[in-house]
Amino acid sequence: MSEANTIDTVFDVHTPEYTEFRYYRAGVFERMFACAIDHLIIFFGSLIMLFAFGLLGVLGGDLMGLLLSGSILILVAIAWLYFAVFEALWGGRTPGKALFKLRVVSGEGTPMHPTQALIRNLLRVVDMMPSVSLVGSLSLMPFYALGFLSVFFSRHNQRLGDLAANTVVIKDRTARERTVKVPPVVESAQLNALPKGLVLSREQGRALTSFIQRREDFSELRRDEMAMPLAQQLRKRYGLDESLSFDMILCLVYVRVFGASS
């Protein structure tokens, strides 16, 4: 794909260390189809749960009213927390986004923080407007008119929730233009020492990506010197093996957070 064909979707991030990362923003229609998949999952999940609670209510007799009341709270929680929970725990992805190879990152190009996932999805109710009810007041068919306008006119294809949370939806398959090399000794046994839901702060994410991008330019001794401040924090937090070099610790964390080693 030529630069001329992709210039409108390029999202360059410049870190304080003068390292540049290039991402490609997700287009309106890619996001629309991914979102449609997610809403279909929510809709059919709501129908199944309504059926289950209705059946339990019939069998339970006097408990029917209580069960139905409980089902309303559960279904509302599913509808409004679905996106926030998936994005917070699955690296900025939902099932729909994963299907279309999209994910959400912070405006600095680092992994999205759970707080950002919550903020961007609290404003989803505004982005969804107008909506029509499909199953009482529990399941909605959103038209996302406001969200579409915001994505269309904003610089980085951001809906209102993205603008508030400082997040951007990118194409996962082209997340990094420059190849990142990490040592081949990054093994599954060592990776398993790190939690799958590992989350870094924005400052740690910037420091980590900057180091990994530049590590090939330095000697082994210099790498360990540069990696030491952040690596010591991570070693203490996650109880990593004392025998691992500081350089290796950051490589392991990078692979765990970004899900790729080359």
Residue 102 lies in a domain: yes
Q: How many CB atoms lie within 10 A of CB 55?
A: 11
Q: Which residue's structure tokens are 């290796």?
A: 248
Q: What is the pLDDT of residues 200-227, one digit of tens each?
A: 887 888 788 878 877 777 788 888 888 8
Confidence of residue 3 (pLDDT cuts 50, 70, 90): very low
Residue 230 lies in a domain: yes
Average model confidence (pLDDT) for the chain?
A: 75
Counts of helices then strands in the chain (DSSP H, E): 12, 6
Co-location of 73 and 162 in the same domain: yes
Q: How far apart are CA 163 and CA 216, in angstroms?
A: 35
Domain coverage including residue 21: 3-174
Co-location of 16 and 74 in the same domain: yes
Q: What is the pLDDT of residues 121-163, one digit of tens each?
A: 988 888 887 755 454 444 455 678 888 888 888 888 899 999 9
Co-location of 92 and 124 in the same domain: yes
Co-location of 12 and 108 in the same domain: yes
> pLDDT value at position 181?
55
Confidence of residue 95 (pLDDT cuts 50, 70, 90): very high
Co-location of 163 and 90 in the same domain: yes
Residue 163 lies in a domain: yes
Q: Which of 174, 209, 225 is the last residue of a domain?
A: 174
Please list the alpha-helical segments (H only) found in the chain: 3-6, 28-60, 64-89, 95-99, 114-122, 124-127, 145-153, 160-165, 188-191, 202-214, 220-238, 246-258
Residue 180 lies in a domain: no
Prediction pTM value: 0.60
Confidence of residue 115 (pLDDT cuts 50, 70, 90): very high
Co-location of 93 and 214 in the same domain: no
Q: Residue 239: what residue type? A: G
Q: Which of 123, 152, 174 is the last residue of a domain?
A: 174
